[in-house]
Chains A and B, each alone.
Chain A
Amino acid sequence: MLELTSVSSGYAGAQVLREVSLSLNAGEIVCILGRNGAGKTTMMKTIMGLLKASQGQIIFNGTDLTTIAPHKIAGCGIGYVPQGRRLFSELTVAENLEIGLMAGNKSSATLDKVLGMFPRLAERLDQRANTLSGGEQQMLATGRALCLEPQLLLLDEPTEGLQPSMIALIRDTVVALKKQGVGILLVEQRVDAVLSIADKVMFLENGMNRDVMSADHLRDNPDLLKKYIGV
């Protein structure tokens, strides 16, 4: 489904990601762990074409994403939930979701499905995104991405600053999507939340791929967490 081969990228002369490789299959949850500044968000942005890969290939279902225009990547079936949610703050809930529907060229049937997953959004369709609570904003950010009916979902720190009940809702949603065959690339700081749902874990350090292992292996060897991320 998704194959990164020796991908490097960064910001205006400063290289952040260095020759990172990764593979992710349909229905698989891969989690990226690493300290702040390790390059996790940079990797997400590079996959979405928001940062140009200076080297390497990003193949998604046979298409090299590094060769197509950034606005065409969503249409390939990739949903993106950025760090900090980054909703269209002045737009209503309905308008934010409509942007997702437009990106995936989906109909109102998809919207009904998403609102079924997050009923609270249905009650707030005419409310501006910046007036929602943190948890509701995360639901909206996730719902907006799901309006594309993506085959691959990129989630960048989706539980950041959320209360436990909301974290559980996001985790249940991710597990449900995995069962539907959606591939999920997850950046997360909460290791406990990750280990219970991930299939594979990748450690990034200074923009380099330190290790990739199964989540089972990491659960059996908790000392590896201390070694790679100091927790």
Chain B
Amino acid sequence: MELAPYLILGSIEGLVTAAVLALMAVGLSLVFGVMRVVNVAHGEFFMLGAVLAWFVADMIGGHPAVSFVAALFIAPVLVGSLAVVADATILKRIKYDPERTIVATIGLLYIIQQVTLMTYGSNARPVEPPFNQRISIPWFEWTESGLSMYWPWGLGTTTYKLAVIGFAVILLLAIWVLMTRTRIGLIMRATQLDRDVAQAYGINVDRVYALVFGLGAGLAALAAVLIVPIQQAHYLMGHDPLLLSFIVVIIGGLGSLAGTVVAAVLIGLSDGLISVFFTPTLAKIIATLIVTFVLIFRPSGLLGKHNP
């Protein structure tokens, strides 16, 4: 068996996973970085994004591209709005206390999950991708007549998967611009660094927290809308991405957006490659082992701030 073509296949699958994981984990990292809240319900915001994408696609109908684009806008906005309400009615009332917010978001996780089960049901449902042409990936070999190109059996991807990678890169760049080049980004970074002094300098911290919690949830929902044409929407689909997001955020460094993206690419690629050559379960085991070693040898993560 020629190894290289399958490495390419594994890398593409891994980059799709990395793209979705990066969006979701950046949301989680943003919430932890600015608010110091470990949002255990983040996976349910992801699941809700996928389920709402199915509802929107089902209601609108017509050409898949139209319903998909509609879902891409509607689902993140609805999930983000729900998160803002959750912030105002739950997190703000317990004063963002780190321990109590963990328990509160566990409660939120079960509420969202069970309400989804009661309304959407237990079936997994697909959303049609807006486009999905198959692309075969060529490979090269030396023959008697020189270098020749051929198409190995099964080596291919789809235009939609490549679009997911491209779209995620654009979104991540947009988040970077938002955080580093805009006034609202400056306000969020100042709040992250010193909540009290930010308040003493006129920053409405409550409003910043609501915005960040909504944005984090919206990013999770957006990631889910992108992945749902590949994976299908299901009420339990939030668990694995939540675990992987925590792994990515810990490896990258808590609160570090750059570290989160780097770790998402690492974990996504290893997941893709190991899944192609071995099994997806082994990929999860290795990701968990990596996070264990990071916690032992570099507890602040790859790009996190070192705390002596």
- Which residues of A are interface residues toward B (Cβ below 8 A)? 45, 48-50, 69-75, 80, 82, 86, 88-91, 95, 98-100, 102-104, 144, 148
Contacts and interface: CB of A to CB of B under 8 A. Distances in A.
Contact of A80 (B186, B200, B204, B205): B200
Given A95-B186, A99-B186, A72 B194 contact: no
Contacts of A144: 201
A127 to B, nearest CB: 16
B136 to A, nearest CB: 47
B186 to A, nearest CB: 6
A74 B200 contact: yes
Interface in B153-208: 183, 186-187, 189-190, 193-194, 196-205
Contacts of B201: 74, 80, 99-100, 102-103, 144, 148
A75 B204 CA distance: 12
B32 to A, nearest CB: 16
B183 A102 contact: yes
A123 to B, nearest CB: 22
Select the residue from A88, A91, A144 with max chain B CB neighbours within 10 A: A88
B186 A71 contact: no
B211 to A, nearest CB: 14
Contacts of A73: 200
A71 B202 contact: yes
A222 B203 CA distance: 43
A48 B197 CA distance: 10
A98 B186 contact: yes
B202 A50 contact: no
Given A70-B200, A91-B190, A103-B203, 10 more contacts: A49-B200, A50-B196, A71-B203, A71-B205, A74-B200, A74-B202, A75-B202, A82-B196, A91-B186, A100-B201
Contacts of B197: 80, 82, 86, 88
B194 A86 contact: yes
A156 to B, nearest CB: 11
B200 A90 contact: no
B156 to A, nearest CB: 45
Contacts of B186: 91, 95, 98-99
Contacts of B190: 88, 91, 95, 99
B199 A70 contact: yes
Contacts, number: 64
Given A90-B189, A91-B189, A95-B186, A103 B194 contact: no
A82 B200 contact: yes
7 contacts: A71-B204, A80-B197, A80-B201, A90-B193, A95-B190, A98-B186, A99-B190
Nearest to A44: B200
Contact of B193 (A69, A91, A104): A91
Contacts of B198: 88, 99
Contacts of B203: 71, 99, 103
Contacts of B193: 88-91
B205 to A, nearest CB: 7
B194 A50 contact: no
Contacts of A103: 201-203
A102 B200 contact: no
Nearest to B180: A95
A150 B194 CA distance: 21
Nearest to B196: A50
A50 B195 CA distance: 10
Identify which of A80, A104, A144 gathers the most chain B CB atoms within 10 Å of its CB. Answer: A80
A13 to B, nearest CB: 15
Contacts of A71: 199, 202-205
A98 B187 CA distance: 10
A104 B190 CA distance: 16
A69 B199 CA distance: 9
Contacts of B205: 71
Nearest to B186: A95
Contacts of B187: 99, 102
A103 B111 CA distance: 39
A88 B194 contact: yes
Q: Which 7 A-B pairs have the closest CB atoms?
A: A103-B202, A74-B202, A103-B201, A88-B193, A71-B204, A80-B200, A48-B200
B200 A50 contact: yes
Contacts of A88: 189-190, 193-194, 197-198
A171 B63 CA distance: 72
A99 B203 CA distance: 9
A50 B189 contact: no
A50 to B, nearest CB: 5
B209 to A, nearest CB: 12
